[in-house]
Amino acid sequence: MGSHAGAFDCLSRSQATKDPVATLRDKYAAVTEQLQRNQFGRPLVLESSDASNRLTGEIYATVAYPFNEVSAGLNSPEHWCDVISLHVNTKYCHAATASSGPTIEVRIGKKTSQEAADAARVDFDYRALAASPEYFDIALNAKNGPMGTSDFRIELEAVALPDAKTFIHLTYSYAVNFAGRLAMQTYLSTLARDKVGFTAIGKRSDGQPEYVGGMRGLMERNAMRYYLAINSFLESAGSAPPARFERRLESWFAATEQYPRQLHEVDRADYLQMKRSENARQFSAN
C-alpha cells in the first residue's frame, strides 16, 4: 500500500509535464473523433485499467460551458461537496479548513438510506494544483478509503476550448489491498453479479456487445457517476438558488438512467427522497 507521501508523488499530472495545457489539448485532438462517435450519446471517452494493485478510471469529455464558468464552479471545496453528494453511495459530505489546507469529509455507504455514522469515512485533502485563465487542475486525495482501498484520488483538469466549451479530464483512482479485492469480488459475485462497465470486450452470441465486468466494471461505473455529477452541477449553475439542488438531483438521475444496464440502482422517487433527507440531515449537522 502506498504511503500518504506516495499518494502525493503520483498526485498531479501538472507536475509530471512541463506544459499540461499543451498536453491536454493534444489529448483533445487525439480523441476528437471518439468524442463525436461513441456509444454514450455525448462527447465522452472513458478509459480504465486494473494494474499494479491500482484501479483507475479516466474520462475525457467536452462540456458545453465556458471555461471561466467551469473554473469558478469547480474551484471550490464546497462545490465539490455539491458534486460528490449526487452519487448514490454518498451519505454525507462536508468541506472544512484545516491547518494544512482545505479538506472534504465524505461518508460512503449503501445505495439506500443509511445513517451517516454507519457509512465509511473518507477524508480528502483538497488541492488546487494549477490555475490560469485557460487551464486548471484540482485534486482530492485521501490516504485511506473504504473496503481496503488507499491512495484514493479524484482529479479534474480542464482547458478552454473555442465556442464557449471546455475539455475536461477526470481521474478516479485508488489502490486496493488483497483483503479489499476479496471483499469487492464477493460483492461483485453476489449483489452486483449482473453489473457491467462500459468498455466492450467482445460480442455475445446474440451479437450484442459483451462489456467488461469485475473490478474494472465497478471502476467505470463510478467514474461515470462522478462525471455525470460534474455535468449536472454545471447544468444547474444558472438556476435560482432555491431550485439548484432539485435540478441537480433530477439531472443526475435522468443522466444515469440513460445507461440502465450499468447505472440503474434505485427508482427515481426513492433516490430523490433519500437525497433530500441526506441534504436536510447535513444542514442540521453543519
Residue 2 pLDDT grade (very low, low, confident, very high; cuts 50, 70, 90): very low
Specify the pLDDT at position 195: 87
pLDDT at residue 8 is higher than 70? no
Percent of residues, the chain, with pLDDT higher than 90: 74
Residues 6+ apart with CB under 8 A from 263: 221, 224, 225, 256, 257
Tell me: the pLDDT tens digits for 203-245? 888 888 899 988 899 999 999 999 999 999 999 988 888 899 9
Tell me: the pLDDT tens digits for 159-204? 999 999 999 999 999 998 877 777 777 776 776 678 899 999 898 8
Name the one residue in this structure whose C-alpha cell is 430523490. Answer: 272
The full set of domain ranges for the chain reads 4-285
Residue 7 pLDDT grade (very low, low, confident, very high; cuts 50, 70, 90): very low
User: For 56, what's the count of Cα atoms within 13 Å in the CB-facing half-sphere?
Assistant: 14
Tell me: the pLDDT tens digits for 101-148? 999 999 999 999 999 999 999 999 999 999 999 999 999 999 998 888
Closest of 219, 229, 182 to residue 88, by C-alpha: 229
Give the H or E element holding residue 202. Answer: strand 200-203
Q: What would the grid cell of residue 35 be?
A: 468524442
Phi, psi of 177 (to 5 degrees): -90, 180
Q: SS3 string of 244-269?
A: HHHHHHHHHHHHHCCCHHHHCCCCHH
Average pLDDT on 4-27 reads 65
Domain 4-285 classification at class level: alpha beta
| Contact predicate 57/47, CB 8 Å | yes
User: For 4, what's the count of Cα atoms within 13 Å in the CB-facing half-sphere?
Assistant: 6
Average pLDDT on 12-39 reads 85
* Rounded distance between C-alpha atoms, residue 92 and residue 85, angstroms: 7
* Rounded distance between C-alpha atoms, residue 170 and residue 214, angstroms: 21
Specify the pLDDT at position 204: 86
